Structure 1
Amino acid sequence: MSTASEPLVLSEKSSSGKVIILRLNRPKALNALSSPLFDQLNIELEKADADESVGAIVLTGSDKAFAAGADIKEMKDKDFATTYKNNFLGTWTRIGAIRKPIIGAVSGFALGGGCELAMSLDMLLCTPGATFGQPEITLGIIPGAGGTQRLTGLIGKPRAMEMVLANRKIDGKTAEAWGLVSRCVAEGEDVVAEAVKIGDRIAGYGAVAVQAGKEAVNGSLELPLEQGLRLERRLFQSLFATKDQKEGMSAFAEKRKPVWSHL
């Protein structure tokens, strides 16, 4: 396990300074997810979200494991009353309140809570050797942080049933084919570097439009089509009150590169 002096989440900026790279840091536990780790992760995510110099966030683990699951030692002696009263896993969903785009870079195991964490991100890249799964059934439980809900929406009911009920695990190429990840990088390609490239590209656009785009896409997952279209249209219209809309369209008409003010 990580010692008390070692942070459970490491943070660094990319060479451009526009992307924050957060790395889960429990190497001896294959980055097993615990409440203390999520407490630190939420703090680092909120700091990155508040940093105006940052346009995107990359979340990754180690070559062996993005996160091999939730920490069984933390969970095994809990009872219903304790988990219910204390809303166990409730803080694991605070990532949904982050407004900047979060790109996952997965190598190795993304199992159980690790797969659920990966699915909660906005974009997801992986290596061919990545392994995704929801093995909670082998512990006498089911996924509790989105593994039945997000997984079904991404890959469909039959495949989700097989992963949740039959403990089927899939590799990176299958995850790409099924739509679980946005892209599986080539063998030997640096998945974190590729995720940072996407982050830098996003950071090169106006921050207000990026934030609105994320809100609109997320809205499509929660709203009926008519309400989703209304949200999209209102966000689209609201962007005409921004300086970046005027700059972007003027730059296009004048055949020059826009200079974003993020206002």
Structure 2
Amino acid sequence: MALRGLQLFKGLSRCASRSPAILQQYVNLPVSSRLYCSGTDLQYIKIEKAGAANNVGVITLNRPKALNALCDGLMKELKKAVDDFDADSEVGCIILTGKGKAFAAGADIKEMKDQQFSQVFSDNFLHHWDGITETKKPIIAAVNGYALGGGCELAMMCDIIYASDKAQFGQPEILLGTIPGAGGTQRLTRAVGKSKAMEIILTGNRITADEAEKAGLVSKVIPNEELMNATIKTAEKIASQSKLTTAICKEAVNAAFEMTLAQGCHFEKRLFHSTFGTNDRKEGMTAFVEKRPAKFTDS
């Protein structure tokens, strides 16, 4: 912790040397927000907290000139940001969005074009992307524009997808002589069914936000200028619940893709039983009977 504090102090000193106002802004922030003032250390993303209770973590992909192409450096920063918010006791929900006209227009092709089979196979290329799905806290993708290739796959790694009315989705890897490599063939098929997934993947065609909603890929289409406010509102509602129970809910729903119906129902029942060992289950039911808001302690 001392090392982290020293690194933070050095970062602030660099900021203050350029603009004393930056240091003053930092001093005026709530203590819980200060650890996220690392903009000078982040090259590819921006992180902040949102919501009236400061309980929503927001990660913005920040390579607008490259349409937020998902280079290795960006994915490493993203994974760390997700892990940090997952470990933050104040944050109950995470939002992932993009800056500019793209959510993410795919993996960085310039970074991949000269790689050979032996290299990508031995390195298990893209394996660290899977870490995004390991967070216990819900992640909402606020898809503000293009979500193509790896960008579409990244959105599908999230738990809820909200789309701007300007958003477009697609898996155009076939146009590059390859296939999706970060879950596109698997998650898209589960979301929209085999026929629609085959059409999207085999043609490389894009679909609009409205088409994505109709197919079941996204939960809601929202006017572009209202996207973040609407997403934050949902995230705040999720974050106000018991974080422990929210994590259990997420585990149960995700298990539906891995189990038979009978296995899934059995697993759900055992998780339901486990909530009776928590203080939040007792508080929630007691508050309901007493007709008052519950005060969850995440225990």
TM-score w.r.t. structure 1 length?
0.96
Q: CA RMSD, aligned part only? A: 1.2
Q: Who wins on radius of gyration, i.e. which is larger?
A: 2
Structure 2 regions of 5+ residues with no counterpart? 1-39
Tell me the amino acid that sits aligned with residue 139 of structure 1: L
Q: Verify: 1:13 aligned to 2:49, yes or no.
A: yes
Identity, in percent, stands at 48
Cα offset, 1:158, TM superposition: 1.0
CA contact (8 A) 2:68 2:104 kept: yes
Distance 2:58 2:224 in 1: 20
1:214 matched to 2:250? The reply is yes
2:94 to 57, 67, 71: 57
- Does 2:236 match 1:200? yes
Which residues in structure 2 correspond to 1:38-187 (within 5 Å)? 38-185=75-222, 187=223
Aligned residue among 257, 269, 273 for 1:237 = 273
Per-residue deviation at 1:5?
6.4
Distance, in Å, in 2 between the alignment partners of 1:87 and 1:108 is 29
Residues 5, 248 of structure 1: CA spacing in aligned structure 2 closer, same or farther, 3 A cutoff?
closer
Deviation of the 1:111 alpha carbon: 0.3
C-alpha distance in 2 between matches for 1:196 and 1:70: 27
Change (3 A) 1:96 1:5: closer
In the alignment, is the contact (CA less than 8 A) between 2:252 and 2:268 conserved in 1? yes
Cα–Cα, structure 1 residues 202 and 170, in superposed 2: closer, same or farther, change >3 Å?
Answer: same
Give the structure with the higher percent helix.
Answer: 2
How far apart in 2 are the matches of 1:76 and 1:132? 23
TM-score by length of 2: 0.85
User: What is the number of equivalent residue pairs in this alignment?
Assistant: 259
State whether residues 62 and 108 of structure 1, in contact with CA within 8 Å, keep that contact through their aligned partners in structure 2. no
Question: Which residue of structure 2 lines up, in the alignment, with residue 258 of structure 1?
Answer: 294
CA distance in 2, matches of 1:261, 1:89: 37
Q: Does 1:226 align with 2:262?
A: yes
What letter is aligned with 2:256? Answer: S
